[in-house]
C-alpha cells in the first residue's frame, strides 16, 4: 500500500508542474494536471462519439500520458532540441514497486506508439486540449496562439479529432454560459 500512496503523491506533483510552452506565447498558463484533466475529459467525449473504442483504455491513456513529467518536468519543443528527458526511466522508477505498474506503463507505451484506435484518439485529445486553450486565448485577442494553432492542428490524425477541431474553430468559448444568462436572460419573478 505504501507504494500506491507514493504514486498518488507523485501524481499530485503534476498539479504544481507547469506546462512550459506558454512562456513562448507570452500569455496563458496551465499545470500538467490541468492539461491531463482536460485531455481525459476530451477522451471521454471522444469515446462516446466512437462507441467502438474501449472507453476505459482511452480515458486511462489520456489521464496518465504525462505521468513521467512529475519527475522530468514538461519540456517544450525548444527545450527538447537541447535537453532530453529519460521518460522511460522516470516511469520505470515511478511504477516499478506498484503491483499494477506494468499495466500503467503499457498504457503509456501504447499512447506513445499511437498504433491503436484508442491511442490515436488519446493523442488527438492531447492536442485538442491545447487547441481549446489556444482558441480561448485567440478569442481574447492574443495573436501568438493563432500561429501555434496551425502547427497543433496538423498533428490531429483521426476523423473524430478533425471534426472536433473544425467545430472548435468556429465556436464561441463563452456560448455555453451566455445562451442562458445574456442572450436569453432569466426572467425575474
pLDDT tops 70 at residue 88: yes
* pTM recorded for the entire structure: 0.92
List beta partners, residue 31. 18
Is 52 domain-assigned?
yes
pLDDT digits (tens, 9 = 90+) for 112-125: 999 999 999 999 99
**Residue labelled with grid coordinates 499545470:** 31
| Total of domains in the chain | 1
DSSP string across 168-179: HHT--TTHHHHH
> Which residue range(s) make up the domain with 104?
2-181
Is 189 domain-assigned?
no
What's the chain's average pLDDT?
94
Query: Higher model confidence: residue 72 or residue 25?
Result: 72
pLDDT at position 189:
61
CATH number at residue 38: 1.10.3210.10
Contacts with 10 (C-beta within 8 Å, 6 or more apart), sequence order: 67, 70, 71, 94
Amino acid at each position: 500500500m505504501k507504494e500506491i500512496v507514493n504514486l498518488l503523491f507523485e501524481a499530485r506533483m503534476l498539479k504544481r508542474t507547469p506546462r512550459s510552452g506558454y512562456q513562448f506565447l507570452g500569455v496563458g498558463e496551465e499545470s500538467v494536471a490541468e492539461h491531463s484533466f482536460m485531455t481525459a475529459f476530451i477522451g471521454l467525449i471522444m469515446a462516446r462519439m466512437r462507441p467502438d473504442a474501449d472507453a476505459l483504455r482511452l480515458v486511462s491513456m489520456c489521464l496518465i500520458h504525462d505521468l513521467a513529467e512529475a519527475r522530468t518536468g514538461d519540456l517544450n519543443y525548444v527545450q527538447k532540441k537541447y535537453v532530453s528527458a529519460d521518460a522511460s526511466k522516470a516511469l520505470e522508477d515511478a511504477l516499478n514497486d506498484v503491483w499494477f505498474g506494468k499495466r500503467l506503463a503499457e498504457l503509456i507505451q501504447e499512447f506513445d506508439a499511437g498504433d491503436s484506435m484508442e491511442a490515436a484518439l488519446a493523442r488527438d485529445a492531447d492536442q485538442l486540449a491545447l487547441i481549446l486553450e489556444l482558441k480561448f486565448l485567440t478569442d481574447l485577442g492574443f495573436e501568438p496562439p493563432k500561429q501555434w494553432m496551425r502547427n497543433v492542428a496538423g498533428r490531429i490524425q483521426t476523423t473524430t479529432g478533425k471534426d472536433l477541431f473544425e467545430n472548435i474553430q468556429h465556436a464561441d468559448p463563452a456560448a455555453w454560459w451566455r445562451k442562458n444568462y445574456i442572450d436569453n436572460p432569466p426572467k425575474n419573478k
